[in-house]
Structures are given as C-alpha cells and as structure tokens.
Structure 1
Amino acid sequence: MKRDNVILVDRQDRAIGEMEKMQAHREGVLHRAFSIFIFNGAGQMLIHQRAASKYHGAGLWTNACCSHPQMGEGLAAAAAERLDYEMGIQCALAWTFSFVYCGKVENDLIEHEFDHVFVGLFDGEPKLNSGEVAQYQWIDMETLNEWIATSPEDFTIWFREALPMLLEEMSNSLGV
C-alpha cells in the first residue's frame, strides 16, 4: 500500500496536480488528506500512538487513522482501505466535514492539508499494523479532553484541530 504522492488541491478541494509526499510536506503545499474517527457502542473514541518509524508525529497520539488518497482513487474507498491496513478495522464510514489546517511539525516539515473527516462505529479489537501503530486505547471523551488540555504536545496537530470541530458537529447533529 504505497502512498508516496499527494493530490495538490486549491481551497475548494479541486485537484490541481500531484506531488511526492515528502516534497509537499517540506514545501507546505496544500494537499488532500483524510482523518478517520472511530467510536464504540460505549461512546469511547479509538486513539492510537503513531509508530516510532513515522516520518513525523512518531510516538504522538492521534485519531484511529489518517492518510492521503492517491490520484484516481475515491476518497471513501481510500479511507476504508487505509483503516483496514493500519488498524485491521472494517466498518462503515460516514463523511462528516472537511477543514483546512496548516502547521509546522517536526523534521522541518509542514502539514498543510484539506482534511476530510470520516466517522465510524466499531466494537471489536483492532489488529494493528506495527509499522504504523505502536499501541491503541479506547478512551472516554472527558478523559481525552483532560489529557489534551494538560499535555497537548502528546497529540498530533491535526487531531488537536479536528477534535473540537468533530465534537461540535456531533453535538449539532444530535440536537444537544
């Protein structure tokens, strides 16, 4: 499952080209990505610690899965395939919202992504790809929010950006 390129996009998520992934992150060029959030029936969120071998964010905690679709690949299909590859999870995913963020990360890289957020429900145990994931945990939202508030450096930049938006979106959709 090679994902060596990214799809360059404009601010309306229209594809305008393709670039090698590391070059795009060195230059901070806006590109398409997806982030997947998985919940269980008890309302806990699945988070994972990124493998030590990751080119950035190694050892940081984040949502269930994130990656980049490849040119010619459908976004939902790419998300489902990557979730299975990284976490051994197969479940229905629902696109929820998109957002753009930009921020410096380690190794002099820049994340500048048009990120599509998907949500799924899964009550099993993940089967981790050790090249991608060091460990995982199911966590309730109160504990997660306290952890982020006291130690934001433990989490990836995109997770810290997306989580409040996701919680607001979920609250609005539930009419709470």
Structure 2
Amino acid sequence: MGVEEIVLLNADDEAVGTAPKGASHHRDTPYHLAFSCYVVDTEGRVLITQRALGKRTFPGVWTGSCCGHPGPGEKLRDAVLRRLRDELGIPDAELMSVLPRFQYRAVAADGTVENERCPVVRATVPANRTVHRNPDEVERAEWWTWDQCLELTGRPESSPWYRLQLAELAPLGAPLDWPDAGPGDLPPAIAW
C-alpha cells in the first residue's frame, strides 16, 4: 500500500491539493478533509471506541466509532465503509449523513493540531453485530447506551471532536431518531 494522502481544502471547502497524511499532522496542520462515523445498532446502542495507545495523534482517547480521511477522488460513503472494514471489521452498514457541515480545530497534549472539515455519518447495523477491532487503530470498542455516550462528554478522556459533535448531536434526540441531513451541505471537495 502506498502513502495515504489527505485532501487539502481552502476556506470554501474546495479541494486545492493533496499531501501525505503522516507528514501533514503537526503543529501547523493544514485544513483538510476528514469524517467521523457513529455506528448505531437497531436497538439504539452506539459503538464507542478508544483510540489505540500507539496512535500518533490523540492516543488512548475515547471517541465515536471510527474516523478517517477520504482519499483524493474517493466518495464519502466509500471512505466510511473502508474505515469501518479496516478499523472494526464491519463489512457493511446503512449510511446516513448527519452533520455534513461539522468542522473543528483541536490541539493535542504534544502540540499536534487537527484542523478538519469533518462531516459526521451514522452507520446503522443489526443488533449484536460482531466487531473485529484492528489493534493498530482501536484499543477497545464497546456498545454503549446513548445516556453513557452523553455522560462521556464530561470526562477528560473523551476526544475534543467527540465533545463538539455530541453538543450538536444531543439536540437531535436518540441516535436512531437523528434526521437525514442529506448530501446537500457536504463540502464541495467530496461527493456522497
């Protein structure tokens, strides 16, 4: 596998180039395209994960189900499904755009910056879906109630993007009630 590339964005969220992912995350990380995904089962439980302790950025924090960076020319749906397979061993899911306009900037304890336009997607799977976590990506993966997810926002071990996303998701109700935001507000840099 070659070097993973991220899509660089301008202030209008248009693609303006690419850069190697690993070399791009530092104290002056350029604004780029990413996504977050919350896997929800048909009973309304949410798959919450702890990032692997060996991760370069934000190791060991608790966060949503998975996140990643769409590659150049890759559709958002395809990127989410790729990361669900790679990180969690989930082969398929019903996807829905939830927070297509989400963006954030966060600084890790070591000074590394995340600076992302990061649409949020819900992936619905059957209850009792087996998860096969990739230990290079995920330290732990657990099915939580929505109340447990909300409670995590008050704990320092949650990721900064998780806290910001939950502030927008909580008013939408329980995860199975989240409305479909559709693809209309996705950044121009990516297709659904």
Could you tell me the TM-score, scaled by structure 1's length? 0.88
Aligned to 1:164: 167
Change (3 A) 1:121 1:2: farther
Show the 5 A alignment for 1:106-145.
Answer: 106-122=109-125, 123=127, 124-145=129-150
Which is worse superposed, 31-40 or 154-163?
Answer: 154-163
Task: Give the distance between the partners of 2:178 and 2:96, measured in 1 at CA.
Answer: 16
Q: Tell me if the contact between 1:3 and 1:70 (Cα under 8 Å) persists in the aligned partners.
A: no
Residue 155 of structure 1, CA deviation: 1.1
- How many residue pairs get aligned? The number is 172
Distance 1:25 1:32, change over 3 A: same
More strand, by proportion: 1
Question: 1:46-82: CA deviations, max 9, x gaps?
Answer: 1011111100121111111100011121121011111
Distance 1:78 1:147, change over 3 A: closer
Partner Cα distance (1:6, 1:147) in 2:
29
**C-alpha distance in 2, partners of 1:87/1:34?**
16
Give % identity.
28
**Greater helix share, structure number:** 1
User: Does structure 2 conserve the Cα–Cα contact (< 8 Å) formed by 1:46 and 1:63?
Assistant: yes
Counterparts of 2:22 and 2:166, CA distance in 1? 25
Q: CA deviation at 1:164?
A: 2.0
Cα deviation, residue 2, structure 1:
5.8
The C-alpha deviation readout for 1:134-164, integer Å capped at 9, x for no partner, is 1111111222222322x1x211111111122
For 1:92, the aligned partner's letter is E
- Cα 1:31–1:41, aligned 2, differ >3 Å: closer, same or farther? same
- TM superposition shift of 1:172: 6.9
- C-alpha distance in 2, partners of 1:2/1:96? 31
Aligned to 2:29: 28
Unaligned runs of 5+ in 2: 181-192
Aligned positions of 1:1-176 closer than 5 A = 4-26=4-26, 27-89=28-90, 90-98=92-100, 99-122=102-125, 123=127, 124-149=129-154, 151=155, 153-170=156-173, 173=179
Q: How far is 1:133 from its partner?
A: 0.8
Q: Aligned equivalents of 2:77 and 2:152: distance in 1?
A: 30
Secondary structure of 2:13's counterpart equals: coil
Q: Report the CA distance shift for 1:136/1:88 in structure 2 as closer, same or farther (over 3 A).
A: same
**Counterpart residue identity of residue 112, structure 1:** N
